[in-house]
Amino acid sequence: MVSTAKPRWEQAIERMRCRVDQTLESLQSEFPHWAEAATGTWTTTVDGDWTGGAWPGMLWLFARRTGSSRYLDAARLWSSRLEPRAHLQTAFKGFGFYYGVALGDILCADKDAATLALDAAQSLKGQYDPRLGLIPLGGDAEESEDVGNCFSSIDSLQAVPLLFWAAEKTGEASFADVAARHTTRVLDIHMRPDGSIVQSSELNPANGKVVRHFTHKGFSESSVWARAQAWGLVYAAVALAHRPQEKRWMEQLIAGADWWLSHVPPGLVAFWDFDDPAIPNTETDTAATAIVCSALLKLGRLAPSADLRAKYQDAGELTALALINGYLTPVGAGETRSQGMLVGACFNKRRDARVRDSVTNAETIFGSYYLLESLNVLDGLIEAEKI
Ligand code: GLY
């Protein structure tokens, strides 16, 4: 077992708190989205885009951790600002309304957050298409192209945590039923037999059959975009936390985690796409790596044997250490940036005119969320499978 360096987790959390404080002071009404690693200046979005919920998510974590009304008030304010997105037709709203809003209920018993999260969950459940057997990306989905009601992606598993939370909050089984169907179908469509994951698919609207696989943000349709692998792992783990009896999901989660661990470079931080021919002279994706860190720590609690639990717990700890030692500022002598920026994320490597958010070596608000969540798990504030 890796020794649990608790003070190290605490110190990293304190570094991230410096950055959260600085971000709080710098923002007006728009949500942090990504920042250039060199400057730390946030690019913001008016309504939060798919990423914005990560920001109140970090504030809820600090509210719970510190008990300070400063973070609680800020979390409530930023959470409420997501309200205009509650009825958008996008599978990705599950991300914002789970981490940005439902976490207010889970971590801080906030009633307004619970009400808003349930409103979004009700709308999200209504996006389920029984012919396709899943929630399609939706006409308002935030990708560069090819979205709508015939398209799916592994990223759309972002719908799953909000729906399972809503099922537990209300006792209405229909939320969990849609979450389970969506999980099964999206994993089956996008996971290859070797445990690697392709990002995107087009479906025949008449019968749900897969027309083609492709990628919105990866290198190619036959490559492994690091965040495709990461999203598949973390949401398979969340789904299993709610339905531990689903053997197929567990087999897929273990296959996907083992694929990651046997392909990630020795330093444990992934390149943006595992098949970029320029490797090692290409960009890392610390956001993908932080998402996988969260998934490994969950698997460290959920895997079916003590040996497997120890294996994935150790891998999660080592991944967190790789991120905080190599990519969480300060990362070198003479550092002038704020402490606690997780740099080295690749939001989008593609640079053609239709692509949004083409930026590499960035700090992303969602990558930072998953590292902060993982550190709070390692530090013992929250249990990995409860979030
Ligand atoms: N669409 C989610 C992502 O860019 O990771």
CATH number of 343's domain:
1.50.10.10
CB 341 within 8 A of CB 37: yes
Span between the terminal Cα atoms of the chain, in Å? 24
Listed as own residue / partner, the contacts of 304-308 with beta carbons closer than 8 Å and 24 or more positions apart are 304/250, 308/254
364 within domain boundaries: yes
pLDDT at 154: 98
pLDDT at 133: 97
- Residues 78-131 pLDDT 10s: 999 999 999 999 999 999 999 999 999 999 999 999 999 999 999 999 999 999
185 within domain boundaries: yes
What distances in angstroms separate CA 75 from CA 62, 71, 88, 311, one per listed residue? 9, 6, 22, 35
Beta carbon of 49 within 6 Å of any ligand 1 atom = no
* Distance between CA atoms of residues 130 and 294, nearest Å: 31
- How many whole angstroms from 378 Cα to the centroid of ligand 1? 25
pLDDT at 2: 52
Q: Is the dihedral of CA 84, 148, 175, 237 positive or negative?
A: negative
Of the candidates 120, 101, 125, the residue with the CA atom closest to the CA atom of residue 112? 101
135 within domain boundaries: yes
pLDDT at 4: 54
What is the rounded average pLDDT for all residues in the chain? 95
Residue 208 is part of which domain span?
6-386
1 within domain boundaries: no
* Distance between CA atoms of residues 75 and 44, nearest Å: 17
Beta carbon of 227 within 6 Å of any ligand 1 atom = yes
pLDDT at 332: 81
* Distance between CA atoms of residues 360 and 346, nearest Å: 4
**What angle, rounded to 10 degrees, do the helices at 54-66 and 6-26 form?**
120
* Structural domains counted in the chain: 1
pLDDT at 358: 87
Tokens (6 digits) for 81 = 């600002």
According to DSSP, residue 384 is labeled G
Burial 322-340 (b: 16+ CB within 10 A, else e): bbbebbbbeeeeeeebbbb
What is the signed CA dihedral for 114, 182, 240, 346, rounded to 10 degrees? -80
287 within domain boundaries: yes
170 within domain boundaries: yes
Which residue among 34, 227, 366 is best mutated to probe the pocket of ligand 1, counting the most ligand atoms within 8 A of its Cβ?
A: 227
* Identity of the amino acid at 369: Y
197 within domain boundaries: yes
Which residue among 197, 231, 272 is best mutated to probe the pocket of ligand 1, counting the most ligand atoms within 8 A of its Cβ?
A: 231
337 within domain boundaries: yes
The stretches in the chain having pLDDT less than 70 are 1-6, 144, 352-355
pTM for the full predicted model: 0.96
